[in-house]
Amino acid sequence: MSRALGKPLLDVFCMFVDRDDDTDAGVIMMHTQIKLLLKKSVHLETIIDDNRSYYRWPDPVCREFLETVFEYLALQTALNTYFVTLRPAIALFHVTIKSHMLLHCAIYSFGISPSMVWNYMGEDFMGRIKSLVLQNTAGTAWLKVNEKLVDQYCRGMNSFLVDDTFDTFRS
């Protein structure tokens, strides 16, 4: 049984947009991109549901999943660009760590089914970043918080990656 939200969201969007008689080319393009994005989301959900029983997906399924993720992320980027270039800009969403994690999930699908390993790592990351932001805001001018945060994040990732590298060579 699927608990996916893509199809209901697509249905509701189509119900309201099909009534839209806007003639603005930008709005028509944006509505088309949103509809395609929702269709890609439904397709990704379908691939996952149809292959849930596999520990490792067949290669053609992995390629289809990866290609659909690339198309999904391209549409997401296009929509982000559209809304950011409006005046005043509208920050409805932006490309986040979750988009990055989706791409990794698609790449890793060639080795193991995403439904076997999905663990909300993006949410874990957000918790860590919030903690890091809290540590860096006390006693720091607000204009310097980002610089300090990115510096500490990069140092932490470097330490993490270097430690992993040494562990790999020791094995």
- Region of 14 (left: φ > 0; alpha: ψ -120 to 50; beta: rest) is alpha
SS3 58: coil
Domain ranges of the chain: 1-118, 120-171
For residue range 28-48, list pLDDT tens digits in order: 899 999 999 999 999 999 999
State pLDDT tens for residues 75-85.
999 998 888 88
Q: What tokens does 113 get?
A: 């089914």
Question: How far is 117 from 154, CA to CA, in rounded Å?
Answer: 26
The alpha carbons of the chain give a radius of gyration, in whole angstroms, of: 20
Dist CA 64 CA 73 (whole Å): 14
Distance CA 135, CA 57 (A): 42
